[in-house]
Amino acid sequence: MPNFYGTEVASRLMLGTAQYPSPAILADAFRRSGAGIATVSVRREAGGDRAGQDFWALIKELGVAVLPNTAGCHSAREAITTAHMARELFDTPWIKLEVIGHADTLQPDPFGLIEAARALTDDGFQVFPYCTEDLVLCERLLEAGCEVLMPWGAPIGTGLGLNNIYGLRSLRAHYPDVPMVIDAGLGLPSQAAQAIEMGFDAVLLNTAVAKAGDPAMMAESFALAVQAGALAHAADPMEPRDMAAPSTPVLGKAFL
């Protein structure tokens, strides 16, 4: 099972908490998914108002670890401020760090991300950076003190799956011992299974479950998919080949 900053998590599936039709459906989706971590947007859930308190009570009832995030931040300074708010609200050093650099694709700002990651790790935070699969960026994030990487599969909310298989495989191979979570862009359970088969430790998704016709059923299907992917990865799957190879040996076959 995944281990993040010394904490073992009971599931390879992580779920976001936004966009669900109702709190009851959100709770049902989490129960059926068995997700071990819930991500929560600090900007969306104010801790002091009644709605924020009700939401926080719901998350506590789920019995899962909370990973606050800095969703919607477009500068390092904004993300750092939001992270400090999150630490006060949720009493955790964990922070999913988002510094958005492009409004249309929601692609991370690599420069702001590194700046914020360095400042937060120096201040005792355990940073989960939302990043691209760029090797240079990821190396700089590790140098800044991050012990987890969260490369995107595709832009947030698109459901396109794993857009850059080569880049993700290269990143996984280059840092085999760094915990990595595919974050954003997954739309189908098969895409989640593929990510785990490739050796990624977990997947994080929100829209694919929250916007499904039956969110709880979709959450359960993703849970089964990551289990299948983990079993396949552990089984050491065969390498693809260019030529056909008979499954039945031809040695000893009669030729007429």
Binding residues for 1-deoxy-D-xylulose 5-phosphate: 157, 184-185, 206-207
Q: Which residues contact 66 (CB under 8 A, 6 or more apart)?
A: 37, 38, 39, 40, 59, 90, 92, 94
CA atoms of 170 and 185, how far apart (whole Å): 19
List the binding residues: 157, 184-185, 206-207
- Given a contact cutoff of 8 angstroms between Cβ atoms, the answer to whether 254 and 64 are in contact is no
- Given a contact cutoff of 8 angstroms between Cβ atoms, the answer to whether 204 and 15 are in contact is yes
Choose the catalytic residue: 60, 96, 211, 253.
96
Residue 248 pairs with which residues in a beta bridge? Answer: none
At residue 18, what are phi and psi to the nearest 5 degrees?
A: -95, 160
Q: Is 211 a catalytic residue?
A: no
At residue 244, what are phi and psi to the nearest 5 degrees?
A: -70, 150
Residues designated as active site: 96
